[in-house]
């Protein structure tokens, strides 16, 4: 493997509002280790030479730098200040990558249960096709509500989107030159706006985003 090839941007820009916590969720400890550290470890396990960039809220930059130095003393992990939205944080992270022919993954810090197999599928497919995003099936029944009218829809027509979402650097950097719109809920939507086809790969069901206190309980049980 060409070891300059893989980059991962870990988006840890949150400030802990939904968690009703004094510290952001990515710094909450599970089994004695911050969630952010569990997440980074997965990517280093996948590729020990991966270039790791962590986007952090400005108020937590010092904390993050201390934490990364403590857990990864021999790794040169870059931190960048997050922006006002996820879009702006990712853009700041993308600006740190110089090789346009690299593949970059973009991953939520609060998804520590992504499997190595999922990471591998995303990076390898993006290397071939230019992008890849992991998805999982919808297990619940769905109803579409439009202007107060609701009707059943087939859940087979829908997928739950996860991260890491992986892209050819040149393509995703160009896509992020577009002006921000609230429609950009993830990174694939930004690329899709450039009329690019998005390629889906299989995610793993336990790759949830830890968002509220119940998720932390699940995470502790899972680990």
Residue in this structure with the two tokens 């087979």, named with its chain if needed:
156
| Residue 118 φ/ψ, nearest 5 degrees | -65, -45
Q: What is the rounded distance in angstroms from the CA atom of residue 56 to the CA atom of residue 160?
A: 26
Select the CATH number that applies to the domain covering 6-222 from these four: 3.90.1170.50, 3.30.420.40, 3.90.550.10, 3.40.50.920. 3.90.550.10
As given in the structure block, the two tokens for residue 178 are 């577009």
pLDDT of residue 14: 66
pLDDT of residue 1: 45
CA dihedral 39, 209, 156, 202 (to 10 degrees): 0
pLDDT of residue 20: 53
- The reply to whether the predicted model has a pTM over 0.85 is yes
- For residue 133, the tally of other CB atoms under 10 A from its CB is 25
As given in the structure block, the two tokens for residue 93 are 């992270």
Q: Where is 53: in which H helix or E strand?
A: strand 51-56
pLDDT of residue 28: 84
What does each of the 223 residues of the chain score in pLDDT, given as a tens digit? 444 589 999 999 765 555 455 677 788 888 889 999 999 999 999 999 999 999 999 989 999 999 999 999 999 999 999 888 899 999 999 999 999 999 999 999 999 999 999 999 999 999 999 999 999 999 999 999 999 999 999 999 999 999 999 999 999 999 999 999 999 999 999 999 999 999 999 999 999 998 888 888 888 887 7
| DSSP string computed for 71-131 | H-TTS--EEEE--SSHHHHHHHHHTT---TTSEEEEEETT-TT--HHHHHHHHHHHHHHSE
């Amino acid at each position: 493997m060409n070891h300059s090839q893989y980059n991962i941007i870990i988006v840890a820009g949150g400030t802990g509002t939904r968690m009703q916590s004094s510290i952001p969720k990515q710094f909450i400890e599970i089994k004695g280790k911050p969630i952010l550290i569990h997440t980074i470890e997965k990517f280093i396990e996948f590729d020990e030479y991966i270039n790791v960039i962590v986007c952090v809220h400005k108020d937590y930059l010092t904390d993050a730098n201390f934490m990364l130095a403590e857990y990864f003393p021999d790794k040169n992990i870059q931190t960048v200040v997050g922006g006002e939205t996820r879009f702006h944080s990712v853009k700041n992270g993308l600006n740190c990558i110089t090789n346009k022919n690299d593949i970059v993954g973009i991953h939520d810090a609060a998804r520590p249960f992504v499997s190595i197999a999922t990471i591998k599928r995303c990076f390898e497919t993006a290397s071939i096709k230019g992008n890849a995003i992991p998805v999982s099936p919808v297990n619940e029944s769905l109803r579409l509500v439009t202007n107060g009218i609701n009707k059943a829809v087939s859940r087979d027509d829908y997928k739950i989107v996860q991260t890491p979402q992986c892209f050819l650097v040149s393509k995703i950097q160009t896509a992020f030159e577009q002006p921000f719109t609230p429609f950009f809920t993830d990174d694939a939507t930004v690329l899709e706006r450039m009329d690019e086809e998005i390629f889906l790969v299989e995610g793993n069901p336990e790759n949830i985003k830890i968002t509220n206190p119940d998720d932390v309980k699940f995470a502790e049980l899972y680990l």
